[in-house]
Structure 1
Amino acid sequence: MAVLIGLAFLLALPFLAEAAGKGFYVTLFTRILIFGLAAVSLDLILGYGGMVSFGHAAFVGVGAYAVGILSWHVFDGSPLMTWPVTLEGTENAFVVWPLAMLMGGLFALVIGAISLRTTGISFIMITLAFAQMLFYLAIGLRKYGGEDGIALYNKSQLVPPIDLFDRTTFYYVCLGLLVAFLAVCRRLTRSRFGMAVQGARINERRMKALGFSPYRYKLTAFVISGAGAGLSGALLANAAEFVGPAYMSWQRSGELIVMVVLGGMGTLFGPVAGAAAFLLLEEWLADLTEHWQIILGPILLFVVVFARRGLWGWVAGQGREDR
């Protein structure tokens, strides 16, 4: 029921915002949907697989740079930027967004293949190290703006009459992609594959004794997670019309972990609620003080101590399973 109520609210939000003369909420909730997608992709490995990745923002940044670099070449008039890569003078979303997912998945494959050979603090530090390497690599790309990033002069486009320059249309596209990704993750977590990933989190030695290969299952989940983060990066680049190294920073990875913990790990819908709570608190508390994190900190501690399943546990009921 909570899911249906939330979906109904999100579907009606653009109309409610325009009727109230608060059109900026459409832009704000578009950002929430995008970060919700990134948080769900992290929850797939953190909440279900027990893999505490402190470099997840790297995959978001890779997806964003896939869009940004192609946009730069389109604006620069590169002869390689022809159909089907471009559509009506800008990037074709049907090509560029899957490419962003592919790049996110490929980087996740390489990073996961190395980092998953370790556990615990070693895994956390290796994922952080790879993310920082990509962060400084982005800064070193002088051709693509370096530390200043890339300004997108056009958004990616779908087939007419879908116009992503219209903020309401772009909002519904982001909502549709989030719902689709949630559906895929829900199917995965309930499948034999999902059960194997969760079993590896609980007792990896027993899974090996049963004939499963935890490394292979965890790596596959890591790649799927990276692809989802790459898609969120592509959407974020279009929403902000900008791409920069900050998308890959360890602070952004920390924010994604906070969203997952705040909403509820291992619940799929929880990270979306966590992203909404985090960004709305940031928006409202920032008007009160520039040190809004001081207020957010105690809220997060309260949720961690008194709500083991996060905000979603309160909304959906502590005894229910939404997996």
Structure 2
Amino acid sequence: MGAGERIRILFVAALLVAAGPLLGTYWVGLLTQAMIFAILAMSLDLLIGYTGLPSLGHAGLFGVAAYAVAVLTTAHHASWWMAAAGALIVGTLVSAAFGLLVSHVRDVYFLMITLALGMVLWGLSYRWIPVTGGDNGISGVPRLVGPLRAYYATFAVFVACGAAMARLVASPFGFTLRGIRENEARMKSLGFNTWLHCYVSYVISGAFASVAGIAWAYYNGFVGPTYLDLTSSSEAFLMVTLGGPGTLVGPALGAGAIVLLKNVMSAYTQRWLLILGLVYVVTIVGAPQGLWNLVAVNPPRRDSPRRRARRTLLVLFILLIPVATLVRGQTPAPIKIGFMAPLSGAYAQNGRDIMNGLLLYLAEVGYKTAGRRIEVVVEDDEAIPAVGLTKARKLIERDQVHLLAGALLSSTGYALAPYIDSVGIPMLYPVVSADDLTQRRRSQWIVRTGYSGSQPNHAFGDYAYRELKLRKVATIALDYAFGWESVGGFARTFEENGGTIVQKIWCPVSVHDFAPYLAQVSSNVDAVYALVLGRAALQFMRQYSEFGLKKRILLIGAGTTTDEHVLPSMGDEAIGAITALHYSAALGTPANERFVAAYRARYNKVPSYYAESMYTGAKWIAAAAERVHGRVEDRSALMTALREVKVADLPRGPVELDEYGNPIENVYVRRVERVNGELQNTVIATFPRVSQFWKYKPADYLKQPLYAR
């Protein structure tokens, strides 16, 4: 490393040290994240840039250490240093074991094996529910210090790891790794044990990735399966290639650029992924050696001043994108609602339905309530818990919103809850249905206006036995928390009445073909209970008919199976299916008819329960603001109002919150019929005022374990 590079590194380090007290907590948090991922990217650079081994499973090692911290601190109440030491040992041992499997292969074979091993770790985190919490992850990892101290602690770890890795690559061992990267056959002929060097490089790289995972667990307070998946490994790979492999500093720069670009751009445009992709393309075309090598202190002679100037401008363009997006006009004293939902990725349509319900109600009231204007700050949480946490911090700490609303997945809901409690800000979940969020792990700062996953299914299990006269049922459901709780609620009341669940068939969330699962359905059942949603619901319904099951076995299920977010795309194969939920667009009440007409006029489609849930949530927020006479700055008063307010004329019918913050509401049994050329969920029975505890005493109910697989 030349003197010029040292000067640049020292300059950046000095900026990081000085920036802490000058920045708000949101920016301090983003820089903390950037340094954690910089450690991960530098650890991966030991493999990619110095040894020539491209890994697509590095996030697995990062996630193993993070899970170890979470398990040791929450389940075993270990001290922070014991948890950190234990996690480092676990992460290093896993790296050592995996290294034995991968160190003898090269190039694309190394890439594929590391990808497979990473997916094995992801599968364990997803399925080893007693330890990892499955899809819900593990929340409640204690944050040891405040944001600014965490920033400087992370900076110290970042500097220590960077210095250690720099010393390593400058050692004879590091030069041997470079030799292996350039010509392994020649290094073998010189007498070097290349397998051993690659193995040690992999183990050391995994150990540093574990350090990043430990820091992330303590910073984030939540660990979930998404930290170990292919997307996370691919993002780390991009950090290295964007910054410049074989430099250490470059991957750290790439990590910072990606973290800042993602979090800043997504606040201002839903097409931020397109912009980020453009940055990748421009960088690879204009600077194939990475950002760090763009402005070389000692450029080669053939590099003309004009070319260096163009490259310098490219760096400035990429790094100034976040700054350029910060210019925004200010308006006087609005009520600021921070809204988040997945607006990109596999759950984007569900997220847009949620947002549509919010915007429809706000448009109806002219974006005003309690004499104050309403401003909505929208964020895309990508259906990733870690992203949701980052966006929540941004909304609260930088945008200074008065309350939060939104989210879709249970895992995101669980991840947000400890942070929401720590800052003490009202949060409204319109859709997140994880049972325990308003039961054993309830929060004083969270209410929901949707439902708990088992709630409508308790009623439906009773109806299936008593009214449909079913006695034997097979269940097919997506294999994650929402599926477990929905099936669990149905099975409990159905079996208590005397019915039998003959078999439970679980399908992966990413299922593309239901044939292997439908083939398992017993012929000795009266009905099949299905829980699917989105694309999976369309595929399931079509294949259920193609297998001939529709003619022989009644199809029943959870409300999402035929919800209006997918029902218009189904055909006659859906007719006759019976499901239960707290809403149907075909509900014949004046309030719902007005809502459906307004929604159709604005969005040219039928509202789903996702849309209705946030429409109701928006009315709830407005009513609470009216109750406190617009003084939403008083968070405690606003939270009390959210819990106690009564809202009339809701599309779904009467709703009130119980003492745990969950709705007591009607549950509707619906049958799919074709009316006036359209499929609809015709209401055939109503269970009034259904509680999340069904007919059980809450104290007795809460003594039972959470519904699981």
Aligned to 1:217: 197
TM-fit CA distance, 1:185: 0.8
Task: Return the match for 2:158 from 174, 178, 183.
Answer: 178
Equivalent position SS for 2:250: helix
Aligned to 1:24: 26
Partner Cα separation in structure 2 for residue 283 and residue 277 of structure 1: 10
Aligned to 1:293: 273
Matched, 1:132 2:138: no
Partner Cα separation in structure 2 for residue 282 and residue 193 of structure 1: 36
Task: Return the match for 1:11 from 17, 20, 27.
Answer: 17
Write the letter of the residue equivalent to 2:11.
I
Whether the aligned pair in 2 keeps the contact of 1:101 and 1:226 (CA below 8 Å) is no
Deviations 1:143-162 (A, max 9, x none): 1311110002423xxxxxxx
Partner Cα separation in structure 1 for residue 296 and residue 155 of structure 2: 21
Write the letter of the residue equivalent to 1:104.
G
Whether the aligned pair in 1 keeps the contact of 2:61 and 2:209 (CA below 8 Å) is yes
Deviations 1:174-233 (A, max 9, x none): 111111111111111111100111101111110011000111001101101000111111
Equivalent position SS for 1:266: coil
Equivalent position SS for 2:269: coil
Whether the aligned pair in 1 keeps the contact of 2:73 and 2:80 (CA below 8 Å) is no
Matched, 1:142 2:129: yes
The 1:190/1:289 distance shift into structure 2, 3 A limit, reads: same
Q: Which runs of 5+ in 1 are unaligned?
A: 75-80, 156-163
Whether the aligned pair in 1 keeps the contact of 2:73 and 2:83 (CA below 8 Å) is no
Partner Cα separation in structure 1 for residue 240 and residue 270 of structure 2: 24
TM-fit CA distance, 1:316: 4.7
Deviations 1:254-294 (A, max 9, x none): 00011111111111111111011101110121022233121
Equivalent position SS for 2:50: coil
Higher-Rg structure is: 2
TM-score, length-scaled by structure 1: 0.87
Which has the higher mean CA deviation after the structures are superposed, 291-300 or 50-59? 291-300
Query: Mapping of 1:154-303 within 5 angstroms?
Result: 154-155=142-143, 164-303=144-283
The 1:153/1:57 distance shift into structure 2, 3 A limit, reads: closer
Equivalent position SS for 1:47: helix
Aligned to 1:53: 55
Task: Return the match for 1:64 from 63, 66, 70.
Answer: 66
Higher helix share: 1
Partner Cα separation in structure 1 for residue 175 and residue 85 of structure 2: 27
TM-fit CA distance, 1:315: 4.3
Q: Which runs of 5+ in 2 are unaligned?
A: 1-6, 301-709
Whether the aligned pair in 2 keeps the contact of 1:152 and 1:243 (CA below 8 Å) is no
Whether the aligned pair in 1 keeps the contact of 2:60 and 2:228 (CA below 8 Å) is yes
Partner Cα separation in structure 2 for residue 217 and residue 117 of structure 1: 11
Matched, 1:36 2:38: yes
Write the letter of the residue equivalent to 2:16.
L
Deviations 1:21-43 (A, max 9, x none): x2211111111110011001000
Partner Cα separation in structure 2 for residue 13 and residue 244 of structure 1: 31
The 1:315/1:11 distance shift into structure 2, 3 A limit, reads: farther
Partner Cα separation in structure 2 for residue 261 and residue 166 of structure 1: 33
Aligned length: 293
Deviations 1:64-116 (A, max 9, x none): 01101112223xxxxxx5xxxx4xxxx222x2223222222211111121112
Please report the RMSD computed on the Cα atoms of aligned residues, expressed in angstroms.
1.4
Which has the higher mean CA deviation after the structures are superposed, 243-252 or 295-304? 295-304
Write the letter of the residue equivalent to 2:13.
L
Aligned to 2:86: 99
Partner Cα separation in structure 1 for residue 96 and residue 291 of structure 2: 32
Q: State the structure with bigger RCO (CA 8 A, min sep 6), 1 or 2.
A: 1
Task: Return the match for 1:108 from 82, 95, 98.
Answer: 95
> What percent of counterpart residues are identical?
37
Aligned to 1:151: 139
Whether the aligned pair in 1 keeps the contact of 2:43 and 2:206 (CA below 8 Å) is yes
Aligned to 1:77: none
Partner Cα separation in structure 2 for residue 154 and residue 116 of structure 1: 37
TM-fit CA distance, 1:13: 1.3
Partner Cα separation in structure 1 for residue 246 and residue 297 of structure 2: 15
Equivalent position SS for 1:203: helix
TM-fit CA distance, 1:120: 1.6
Whether the aligned pair in 2 keeps the contact of 1:2 and 1:316 (CA below 8 Å) is no
TM-score, length-scaled by structure 2: 0.40
Whether the aligned pair in 2 keeps the contact of 1:39 and 1:272 (CA below 8 Å) is yes
The 1:274/1:306 distance shift into structure 2, 3 A limit, reads: same
The 1:165/1:48 distance shift into structure 2, 3 A limit, reads: same
